[in-house]
């Protein structure tokens, strides 16, 4: 970026900022997921806007997940310090410490903070997908974005499953074979019939 900060964007993500970025203010708007390594500047904080949630830093490394369909903003702090605030709720402030994961629910305006292994939340920038006891619905959402596929679930009981796995360079066909092996789930793959359609995976309960 113009201020020497470095940003990795995950699939389906947009990051926008003004033409005079770093001249008077460092403000970006995030829709999706990104990992930031922010160049230090005590005079100009770096602000990431995700809906009404604002992540403010001076110089640090962190991951932000703010895909609109999830209705939440998740921040995993690798190093340094960040402050969370809300554009509509002036009383809300939270200062994160390294190793913390903060999840802000945009519907209830509630925040949940836990200590975690931050590396697995930023592994995507190195071409890895890491799932640790992840709800299968969350797994499907990430796989849809990562592989640009469509997943159709025809039995709601599928969502009772959780999944653990680490992937790098595997095809989505290989991943769904492992999901079938690990969970009581059946996966049927329909490859795209034309260039405009996405591959579809139909999910059912075994």
Q: What is the pLDDT of residues 88-105, one digit of tens each?
A: 998 999 999 999 999 999
Residues 13 and 115 in one domain: yes
Residue that terminates a domain, selected from 82, 99, 119: 119
> How sure is the predictor about 195, in pLDDT bands with cuts at 50, 70 and 90?
low
In-domain check, residue 1: no
Instruction: Give the model's confidence band at 155: pLDDT under 50 very low, under 70 low, under 90 confident, else very high.
Output: very high
**pTM of the entire predicted model:** 0.84
* Residue at a domain's end among 69, 94, 119: 119
Q: Give residue 48's domain range.
A: 6-119
> What integer pLDDT is reported at residue 24 of this predicted model?
79
- pLDDT for position 206: 84
Please report whether residue 197 resides in a domain.
Answer: yes
Average pLDDT over residues 1-23: 90
What pLDDT, on the 0 to 100 scale, is given for residue 38? 94
Angle at 178 between CA 161 and CA 195, to 5 degrees: 100
| SS3 at position 160 | helix
Considering the domain boundaries, does residue 45 fall inside one?
Answer: yes
SS3 of the chain: helix, strand, coil, percent, to 5: 20, 45, 35
């Amino acid at each position: 970026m113009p201020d020497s900060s470095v940003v990795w964007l995950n699939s389906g993500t947009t990051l926008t900022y003004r033409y005079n970025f770093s001249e008077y203010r460092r403000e970006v708007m995030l829709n999706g997921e990104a990992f930031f390594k922010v160049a230090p500047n005590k005079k100009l904080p770096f602000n990431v806007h995700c809906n009404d949630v604002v992540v403010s830093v001076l110089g640090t490394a962190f991951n932000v997940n703010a895909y609109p369909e999830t209705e939440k903003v998740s921040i995993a702090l690798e190093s340094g310090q960040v402050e969370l605030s809300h554009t509509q709720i002036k009383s809300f402030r939270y200062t994160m410490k390294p190793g913390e994961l903060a999840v802000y629910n945009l519907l209830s305006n509630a925040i949940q903070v836990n200590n975690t292994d931050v590396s697995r939340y930023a592994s995507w920038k190195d071409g890895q997908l890491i799932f640790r006891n992840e709800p299968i619905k969350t797994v499907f959402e990430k796989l849809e974005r990562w592989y640009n596929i469509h997943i159709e679930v025809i039995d709601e009981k599928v969502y009772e499953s959780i999944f653990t796995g680490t992937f790098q360079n595997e095809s989505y066909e290989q991943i769904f074979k492992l999901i079938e092996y690990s969970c009581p789930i059946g996966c049927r793959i329909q490859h795209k019939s034309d260039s405009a359609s996405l591959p579809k995976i139909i999910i059912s309960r075994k």
